[in-house]
A and B are shown apart, each in its own frame.
Chain A
Amino acid sequence: MGLLSSRNSITRYKVSGRLDEPVHETVYRRLKQHTIPKIETEGSEATIGWTSFENPYAPDFEGYSFVFGTYMVFALRIDKKSIPPKLIQKHYSLNVSKRLTETGRHYLSGNEKKAIKEAVINTLAHRIPAVPNVYELVWDYNTGSLWFFTNLKAMNEALETLFIKSFNLQLIRLFPYTSADLLSELSDNERDFLRNLGKNRSGE
């Protein structure tokens, strides 16, 4: 699901901090630096990086193509190899049988079985292509607001990690406490009340 989909899921963030001016040039350089690699890393289970909104399978940020009006629109891409467990089980069983025949033994030790399983996973990981998943985001730099188009926890965590690594800016997810703290302009009394409310609820 993404910005142009018929249905959207959105996780809202507040971006904390400022970038070097000119902002679009800084973002362009950082996106390029952390673009998803075109060639899969040998044997790695997952590859992660930024990609462009218009063409997520051939990332291109030239000409500040990520700028739409006052917003920046680009995407997080995760290419992940997912080996079906039944496929692992099949190749593992075949390899165990082969080893037993070769050695003339009736059983294998735990360590041997573990080594066979690791070898099977490693071989399959080289043969199976990674599946790309693209999650778009809209960043309004002026207001420090960012929308990420998924609610998947693992993807939110991946975004937060890559974002701070790329831009050295903190992403604060907006949930009840952070919305109260960062958006609601609470008075000192209200802030104290909120703090005590949380403590009383958690039984501290």
Chain B
Amino acid sequence: MLDIAIAYNRYKFLGNEFLTWLWFVIETDPKQLHRHDADLVSITIGNRMVLENTRNNAKETITIKGDNAGMEEGRLALKKGAVVAEIHLSYKTGAQHFEFNLKGESLNISNLKLPETGPVETPEDLEGVVLEKIFLIEKIVGLVNRLFIHFIHLRLSNTWDHQTTSKIRKWAASN
């Protein structure tokens, strides 16, 4: 395997492409996401997105935030060659609601808000609550893994260059 530091820097673009693809799928074909979670109700863009454009040897960062923020500026940035570097997602599965940030270059999860769990009132409660929290976190980690694995197989196939990129460009250019 490659040296970890080299691998991190050389392939961080893949994480940004993953988030860009994810946004595209959420907007254009959300039903596709059901194959990654049988109980999925919805995955939607939350209240924050960061895009980066590193074309022309200069880094431009566009941040869109706010509960009712429009994503037109984001699509415009995509049209100019930007990619999504960070995304806030709202994920509903069964009766549970999660929110979290996902960063492209590291695939790190941050600001993860889980559904309510029972309180720890006695030492005996602790193990149950810990296992419940782990179960809930596993849902997010599992979802991110499954989506990324699906993406990476697509990214390394001919379909990516021959179909997917043109579809993403077309979507970004549409109003």
Residues of A at under 8 Å CB distance from B? 3-4, 6-12, 53-54, 68-69, 71, 73, 138, 145, 147, 151, 172-181, 183-186, 190, 193-194, 197-198, 201-202
Contact = CB atoms under 8 A, between A and B. Distances in A.
Interface of B: 1-2, 4, 7-8, 10-15, 18, 103-114, 120, 126-127, 129-131, 133-134, 137, 141, 145, 148-149, 152-153, 156
Given A6-B113, A10-B137, A151-B110, A184 B131 contact: no
22 contacts: A4-B130, A8-B109, A8-B114, A8-B137, A9-B111, A9-B112, A10-B112, A10-B141, A12-B109, A69-B127, A69-B134, A71-B131, A138-B137, A175-B12, A176-B11, A176-B107, A177-B2, A180-B11, A184-B153, A185-B149, A194-B156, A202-B10
A136 to B, nearest CB: 10
B11 A193 contact: no
B156 A198 contact: no
Contacts of B110: 9-10, 151
Nearest to A191: B156
Contacts of A190: 152-153, 156
Given A4-B120, A8-B114, A68-B127, A181 B107 contact: no
A91 B108 CA distance: 42
B10 A201 contact: yes
Contacts of B4: 172-173, 178
B18 A176 contact: yes
A10 B108 contact: yes
The 8 tightest CB contacts between A and B, nearest first, are A177-B11, A176-B14, A176-B15, A177-B7, A9-B110, A8-B112, A190-B156, A198-B10
A87 to B, nearest CB: 32
A40 B43 CA distance: 48
B110 to A, nearest CB: 4
Given A12-B107, A53-B130, A198-B10, 7 more contacts: A7-B112, A10-B137, A175-B15, A177-B8, A177-B10, A177-B14, A184-B148
Nearest to A182: B1
A contacts with B: majority SS = mixed
A3 B130 contact: yes
A68 B131 CA distance: 7
A54 B129 CA distance: 13
A181 B14 CA distance: 12
A54 B126 contact: yes
A175 B106 contact: yes
Contacts of A176: 11-12, 14-15, 18, 104-105, 107, 148
B108 A9 contact: yes
A138 B135 CA distance: 12
Contacts of B103: 151
A164 B103 CA distance: 26
Contacts of A151: 103, 106, 108, 110
Contacts of A193: 156
Nearest to A185: B149
Contacts of A179: 107, 145, 148-149, 152
B156 to A, nearest CB: 4
Contacts of B12: 175-176
Contacts of A68: 127, 130-131, 134
Contact of A184 (B127, B137, B152): B152
A177 B31 CA distance: 27
Contacts of A145: 141
